[in-house]
Amino acid sequence: FLVRDWAWYEAGSSFEDCHHTMERHLRNLLNSNVGGRDELRERLERTFSSISCHGLPHPGLAVLDPAFKGDFEDISSDFSQLLGEFSRRFFSEGDFPKPSLPLGMEISPASFENTVRNFVEAFSDTKGSAVQLRDAFVKVELFKTRDLLLQHFKRRMELAAPESRAVDPDDFARDEASIRS
C-alpha cells in the first residue's frame, strides 16, 4: 500500500524509522478488532504474495497552487526523499513485486484497470467493510471468468479460422457450432 499525505512521522526520523512506522501501522490495521478485519487480512494474504505499506508526506502547499508548474524545488524535500526511498525499495531486485495470482489467475493488461478500480473502491471507505471487499472480489472473479472465456473463444476461433488463410464461409458455418460450445 502507498499512503500519501501521511502526517505522523516523528521529526528527524530516518528512512528505516519511517519504514518501521508504516509496517507497524499496517500490522495494527490488519490485526485490529474491527469487525471483518480478520477475514480481510486472511484474504489479502491469500491473494498477494507479500504486503507492505509505505507512507509519503504531503508534497507541500505549492503543489496545490493552480500556478504550480511542476518545479522540483517547489515540492517538499521530505516528500521527494521518501518518494526516492520508496522507489529504490520498490524497484530493488530483492523487493520488486513478484508475480501474484489474485484468485488463482494472472491479471491481464485488459483486466488490470478493473481489478485495481474494484479494490480501490473497496478500500475507499475507511471502515474497511468486509462486504465491500467481498463485492470487489466478486467483480474481479467476474472479470477473470470473462477473460478466460474470451481466451478460450479466441483459441478455438484461431483453430477454425486462422488469420493466415482464408476460410470458406460454408466450412466456417459448419464449424461455428463447435466454436460456440
- pLDDT tens sequence across 76-126: 999 999 999 999 988 888 777 766 666 566 677 777 777 777 777 766 665
Domain boundary among 100, 123, 138: 100
pLDDT at 117: 79
How many domains does the structure of the chain reveal? Answer: 2
pTM: 0.55
pLDDT number for residue 47: 76
Give the residue from 77, 100, 123 where a domain finishes: 100
Contacts of 108 (CB under 8 A, 6+ apart): 147
Q: What is the pLDDT of residue 83?
A: 96
**pLDDT grade, residue 157 (50/70/90)?**
confident
Whether residues 109 and 68 share a domain: the answer is: no
Residues 91 and 14 in one domain: yes
What value does the mean pLDDT take over residues 30-35? 87
- From 79, 100, 121, the end of a domain falls on 100
Whether residue 107 sits in one domain with residue 86: no
Whether residue 95 is found in the same domain as residue 112: no
The number of angstroms, rounded, from the C-alpha of 5 to the middle of its chain's C-alpha atoms is 19
Q: Which band of pLDDT confidence, cut at 50, 70 and 90, is reported for residue 33? A: confident
Least trusted range by pLDDT, from 20-24, 108-112, 120-124, 128-132: 128-132
pLDDT tier for residue 21 given thresholds of 50, 70 and 90: very high
Is there a single domain that holds both residue 54 and residue 126?
no
At residue 58 the predicted structure's pLDDT band, cuts being 50, 70 and 90, is: very high
Same domain, yes or no: 4 and 90 = yes
Q: Please give the pLDDT value at position 43.
A: 84
Same domain, 7 and 36: yes
pLDDT above 60: residue 176: yes
174 and 114 fall within a common domain: yes
Residues 44 and 132 reside in one and the same domain = no
Show the domain range for 88. 1-100
Given this model, what pLDDT does residue 105 score?
64
Mean pLDDT of 44-67: 90
For the chain, what is the mean pLDDT?
84
CA–CA separation, 4 vs 45, rounded Å?
23
Alpha helices in the chain (DSSP H): 15-30, 37-47, 77-91, 109-124, 130-160, 169-180
Name 125's Cβ contacts closer than 8 Å, sequence gap at least 6: 132
